[in-house]
């Protein structure tokens, strides 16, 4: 497997209202950190906060179950194309390699 681009790091661009940006920049400056580091800390805090919500684990479990249902449906479709004799590992590899599902489709949440 090839190494991921950027060492597994994603770039995030966001639009921030001028007044909030000014406050954010000032707070980062007072903490003597870059805006990038401050943004990373904010994202980490958001994730930590969401994890501690009472219903978060249930919502994550429901999302995982939906992913499993979609994967099973795709597996079934591929097995239908190639017959029931298709090795389950081959079906999973074919489903993972299917670019039509990831192209142009974004899930809101």
Gyration radius from the chain CA atoms:
21
Q: Give kind and range of the element (H or E) at residue 37.
A: helix 35-51
| Cβ burial, residue 10 (10 Å; 0-12/13-18/19+) | exposed
Question: According to the model, what pLDDT value does residue 40 have?
Answer: 96
Instruction: Grade residue 74 by pLDDT with cuts at 50, 70 and 90.
Output: very high
pTM for the full predicted model? 0.59
Q: Return the closest-CA partner of residue 34 out of 23, 25, 46, 45.
A: 25
Give residue-wise pLDDT tens across range 10-52: 999 999 999 999 999 999 999 999 999 999 999 999 999 999 9
CA distance 3 to 23: 38
């Amino acid at each position: 497997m090839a190494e991921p681009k950027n060492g597994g790091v994603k770039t995030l661009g966001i639009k921030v209202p001028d007044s909030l940006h000014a406050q954010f920049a000032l707070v980062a400056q007072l903490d003597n950190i870059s805006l990038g580091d401050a943004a990373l800390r904010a994202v980490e805090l958001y994730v930590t906060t969401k994890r501690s919500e009472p219903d978060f684990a249930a919502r994550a479990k429901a999302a995982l179950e939906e992913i499993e249902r979609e994967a099973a449906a795709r597996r079934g479709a591929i097995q239908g194309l190639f017959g029931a004799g298709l090795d389950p590992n081959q079906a999973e590899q074919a489903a993972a390699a299917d670019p039509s599902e990831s192209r142009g489709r974004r899930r809101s949440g």
